[in-house]
Amino acid sequence: MGIVLDFQKGRRHLLAKRAFRNWGRRFTDQFDEDTSLSALSDGTLGLLIRGGEENLLPIYDLILSVLGMGSGARFYDLEGSEKMYVMDISIFLLDQLRFESMKRLGWVEDFPTRHISLLDLVEQFGEHFSSRRHETPFLSPSHALYGEYEKTFEGDRSLFVRRLIPEALQAYIRESEKS
């Protein structure tokens, strides 16, 4: 049994090396198979949450590497269904990264995906996370708009939190650039 566990651990370690190869060149963090949203430095998170073509490339790179489809630059050569799947995962990851920035600002409560490794978020997207991709964390009671949030119909609270994302991005990027 020990051999099987060592093999799985070794396979996962190699997957992390491949998946984070380009991240190690771009960011100052150390990445491994256990790297989660909560483990990212403020600077790395500040770059990843921006979105846009240039900042999505590392996310595509992570996804394609984990799925065994090559590097992020290959994203543009993917066929329709593969490209849509990678886009679904990238939108999911971008949301989770942005929720992490909101958590660090104290705007939202803790949420489960922030403690799951980035490798698992990608690998298990289809079977575990795709059905939960529209979920959002709860707004923190300390947030200035919490009273309004509480009065909002429960089914609309997710949208309420999502509407705060642009303001949160600006606040987080400002804060991360100070550090």
Whether pLDDT at 16 is above 70: yes
* 108 neighbors 77 (Cβ within 8 angstroms): no
Helix ranges (H only) for the chain are 2-19, 21-26, 42-48, 52-66, 80-105, 118-123, 146-151, 157-163, 165-178
Average per-residue pLDDT for the chain: 89
Higher pLDDT, 157 or 83: 157
| Single-letter amino acid code for the residue at 63 | I
CA distances from 86 to 47, 60, 83, 131, 136 (A): 20, 7, 5, 15, 20
Q: What is the pTM of this model?
A: 0.90
Residue 107 carries which DSSP code?
A: S
How confident is the model over 65-124, as pLDDT tens digits? 999 887 766 777 778 888 899 899 999 999 999 999 999 999 999 999 999 999 999 999
| Single-letter amino acid code for the residue at 3 | I
